Structure 1
Amino acid sequence: MRKLFVIGIGAGDPDQVTMQAVKAMRQAEAFFLIGKGDEKRELVQVRTTILAEYVDTPHRIIEIADPPRERTPADYTGVVVDWHERRSELLEAAFDQVDGVGAILVWGDPALYDSTLRMVENVLARGRTSFDYEVIPGVTSIAALAARHRQVLHRIGEPVHVTTGRKLREEGLRDGSTVVMLDGECSFTQVPGDDLHIWWGAYLGMPDETLIAGRLREVEARIVARRASLRAEKGWIMDVYLLR
């Protein structure tokens, strides 16, 4: 493979795909799609829908089965590093199948809570294959959340802290506003305080998009119940929220 595009495709709405992303996709001869099993097949379908809408040049799709990993390990960093290494091995084998230009479509933006760029660097570090790569930014779920709730992420002169549910439970809230991603434990229920507000969204940009906002203590039980119902119905969930 001579070149690889790592393309951010937004939070799920095909209309969020940028013209820069479309131009890059039209140069690719093969697209590498990392599948996450039958339960999350919809994530692959969104990508194939985007390709059908925007790419009219000949191309092929190479699916890669995502290797499993432990979700609640004692050594979180060690488990994730091992998972990235196994993913990198699969990507390297897939890259060997392409002699021209390839592309990976990344949910949201490749620079925010996504491991694709690390895996690409891992492949190059092995020294068995050589190629150039270019990163195309995408609309993040954070930007989509703010837009759908019509919110500015920060108040005047204040910072915005972006973190995970695990870190929120360990470290609590910081000054300013806090955006929380990758929270399977509804960690907002463990944050003390009666003066907090939350803006929550799931499946942003998709047909099942769900939004809830209000005083945290008044809506937290509703969010927990709705999140559990959606996850049970679809088998997976992607959500993000702003706390202030």
Structure 2
Amino acid sequence: MIRLSLIGIGTGNPDHLTLAAIRAMNDADLILLPRKGDAKSDLIDLRRTICAQVLDRPVSIVEFDMPTRADQPAYVDAVLDWHDAIAGLWMEQIRQHLPDGGTLALLVWGDPSLYDSSLRIAARLPGLDISVIPGITSMQALTAAHAICLNDLAEPVLITTGRRLREQGWPACASTIVVMLDGGCAFQTLKPEGIDIWWGAYLGMPHQALCHGPLSSTGARIVAQRAMLREEHGWIMDIYLLRRRSG
């Protein structure tokens, strides 16, 4: 029997770990850490730091190289092929390091249930006993950093991606939207009048960056700052909240 623990680790700050996450890491027989290339070496360094800080017993830690997602117009097909490749790598590590069974742990940014595909990938592997340990999401870290409420009083919130915002525009069903996985600053495609933006990058990390204000005057500043930070660090993870002003 292979038990798989998908452990939400927040935005990389060890202070974001819950007690349940720490227990799950220490209960594991194997922790897999994915490498995503030199440009994102900070990400595996953060995972290494978390392991070093919270493990109080010997746990086998194995690093592996993540496959690259194909850059092709058929986005969903490319993602499905990518997930198949990742599942194959997980199975390879399980066969090599847990031939007699045991508990495998994966450290998932944010929460495994929100815009993360670990659960979908795990579903490709038969016979796993899966448990999920929830974590602080980048959405929560964003609203906390700006000290704002996620929603207006009695109003809905919609969570979407940059690709969806660019292709479909502002969703008609919400006055507040949270945009994740946006590598192209899709807010530039909106008419900015009457919209405020709260943006954050590297949330919870020492080099956290924040910006907020009317989209009409703040959008260009965010685009420039984001490009500068990406150039400086070689990678960027960011998220933003947009809200239409009432009245």
TM-score range, shorter chain: over 0.9
Deviations 1:187-227 (A, max 9, x none): 11111131100000000001110000000111111100100
> Matches of 2:94 and 2:157 in 1, distance apart?
38
Count of residues in correspondence between the two structures? 238
> Matches of 1:102 and 1:28 in 2, distance apart?
6
1:86 shift after superposition: 0.7
1:131 shift after superposition: 3.2
Partner of 1:115: 117
Partner of 1:127: none
Partner of 1:5: 5
Structure 2 residue aligned with 1:150, among 147, 151, 156? 147
Report the 3-state secondary structure (helix = DSSP H, G, I; strand = E; otherwise coil) of the residue aligned with 2:184: coil
Partner of 2:75: 76
Equivalent residues in 2 for 1:22-171, closer than 5 Å: 22-71=22-71, 73-96=72-95, 97-98=97-98, 99-124=101-126, 130-171=127-168
Report if the CA contact (8 A) 2:70-2:82 is conserved: no
Report if the CA contact (8 A) 2:35-2:65 is conserved: yes
Partner of 2:232: 233
Report if the CA contact (8 A) 2:35-2:63 is conserved: yes
Structure 1, 27-36 or 200-209: larger mean CA deviation: 27-36
Structure 1, 226-235 or 56-65: larger mean CA deviation: 56-65
Structure 1 runs of 4+ off > 2 angstroms? none
- State percent identity of aligned pairs: 47
Structure 1, 188-197 or 159-168: larger mean CA deviation: 188-197
1:32 shift after superposition: 0.8
> Matches of 1:164 and 1:21 in 2, distance apart?
27
Question: What are the ranges of 5 or more consecutive residues in structure 1 without an aligned counterpart?
Answer: 125-129
Report the 3-state secondary structure (helix = DSSP H, G, I; strand = E; otherwise coil) of the residue aligned with 2:123: helix
RMSD (Å) for aligned C-alpha atoms: 1.1
Report the 3-state secondary structure (helix = DSSP H, G, I; strand = E; otherwise coil) of the residue aligned with 2:34: strand
1:2 shift after superposition: 2.9
> Matches of 1:95 and 1:115 in 2, distance apart?
19
Report if the CA contact (8 A) 2:188-2:219 is conserved: yes
Amino acid at match of 1:211: L
